[in-house]
Amino acid sequence: MPGLHQANKSVCRLLPAQSGAGGERGAVMKRTCVEAVLLAAGYSSRMGELKPLLPLGGTTVIRRQVEMLQSVADRIIVVTGYRGEEVEHHLSGSGAYIVQNPRFGEGMFTSVKAGIRSLKPETDAFLILPVDYPLVTGRMIRQLLKVYEGSGDCLVAYPSYRMRKGHPPVISASCTRQILAYDGELGLKGALKAFDGFACYMETEDMRCVMDMDTPADYRKILAALAVG
């Protein structure tokens, strides 16, 4: 499997252990290791140009996302498909780990599964971010991780903007087997529905978590939003 491997850098968070039976918080710390799966395999047919390589903020969409994710994740997995060699070459030296999905033409969920299969065994949680959401910030993801880590029994944490689920969800690694086994027609949304009883939500006024980019008109809106900060 071709890949560009990230430097040996970890941002696994050290968390206090859960309180014991006596109510005292132990000195033992738990490492929470988080990986990011960045989906960049689609045809970009509605855009007319390859979305990952579109210019954005002095760089490209995908370079911007990889650099942002490096501030919140232990490893970034980029799943490519259509024109994958171009994307991989563009990310040379970025520290991303590249996974080529030969089944990308069958839909985005095949790329989700390819990314999940590439997670390290020691990973505790992972987030999934489509390339379509280029303005998501590391600050928002860090806030979401705090909600996830502090919830106790949460398996999937979502950002929520005015009652709309945003991106990316943070997902417990304990969910991977069930997600990989899902073969319904609703893709990741359908697979995650099984965990609705263990979902938590972080309300945010940052609408960038719901700003996707499928068409040239969407791209112009993204550029305008970036220009005003």
pLDDT of residue 215: 97
pLDDT in tens, 15-68: 443 433 333 334 444 557 999 999 999 999 999 999 999 999 999 999 999 999
pLDDT of residue 28: 42
- pLDDT of 115 strictly over 60: yes
- pLDDT of 13 strictly over 80: no
Instruction: Kindly state the average pLDDT of the residues 155-183.
Output: 97
Angle subtended at Cα 103 by Cα 196 and Cα 44, rounded to the nearest 5 degrees: 85
Which residues face 78 on adjacent strands?
Answer: 38, 98
Instruction: Kindly state the average pLDDT of the residues 148-174.
Output: 96
Q: In the chain, pLDDT over 70 holds for what percent of residues?
A: 86
**DSSP line for 110-140:** HHHHHHHHTS-TT--EEEEEETT-TT--HHH
Pair 24, 17: CB distance under 8 Å: no
| DSSP secondary structure code for residue 7 in this structure | P
Question: What average pLDDT is seen over the chain?
Answer: 89
Q: Which residue blocks in the chain are alpha helix, DSSP H?
A: 61-69, 84-90, 108-117, 138-150, 176-181, 187-193, 216-227
pTM of the model: 0.87
Exposed e or buried b for every residue in 72-106, given b needs 16+ CB within 10 A? bbbbbbbbbbbbbeebbebbeebbbbbbbbeebee
Instruction: Kindly state the average pLDDT of the residues 138-157.
Output: 95
- pLDDT of 1 strictly over 50: no
pLDDT of residue 7: 34
| DSSP secondary structure code for residue 209 in this structure | G
pLDDT band at 175 (very low <50, low <70, confident <90, very high): very high
pLDDT of residue 30: 54
| Domains of the chain (ranges, CATH numbers) | 13-17+29-227 (3.90.550.10)
